[in-house]
Structure formats: structure tokens, C-alpha cells
Amino acid sequence: MKHRIATGELQGRQEDWGSWAAKVTVAEIRTLMDEWFREPLQFKGAYNLELLDLVRTFVASLDEDVPYALVASEL
């Protein structure tokens, strides 16, 4: 996400020493999730896959016509 903000692909900025926020649509959230969590999945384990499914369900419930702030943090 940091690279996409830096290149202007996403509208956003650095918010803190290790966090970035971007203004995104639901479609952009889905695209980012598909890229970040594709196979081979580093997000392994039944518990983690269950959490990922919960996040995908939540994203599916969002209003398609509303912009959202997506925040990423360096850990």
C-alpha cells in the first residue's frame, strides 16, 4: 500500500512513523486483499484463514458507493 500511495495509484499519506492510510473503494479493498493474501498463502493456519474469511465477509457488507480509509501498519 505504501508503494501505491507513493506512486499516486492510491490517494493517501503516511499518518504516523509506521502507518499509512489510503482513501479506497470496496473494489480496491478486494483487489488489495486478493493480492496480499493469494496462494501460496503466508496467512496459514485454520484460525488465520477463519479470520481472513471474516474480514472478506465484512468487506462484502460495505456500501459500494462510499469511500473508506484503509490503514496499514508496519510491524
Angstrom distance (rounded) from CA 7 to CA 63: 27
Give 48-70 as a 3 state SS string: HHHHHHHHHHHHHCCCCCCCEEE
Interval 46-57 mean pLDDT: 81
pLDDT at 43: 57
**pLDDT at residue 51 greater than cutoff 70:** yes
Of 65, 64, 75, 60, the closest CA to residue 16 belongs to 75
**Cell numbers for 3:** 508503494
pLDDT digits (tens, 9 = 90+) for 4-47: 999 999 999 999 999 999 999 999 999 999 888 776 556 566 55
Exposed / middle / buried, residue 60 (Cβ in 10 Å: 0-12, 13-18, 19+): exposed
Q: Is the pTM of this model over 0.85?
A: no
Considering only residues 75 and 67, tell me which one the structure prediction assigns the higher pLDDT.
67
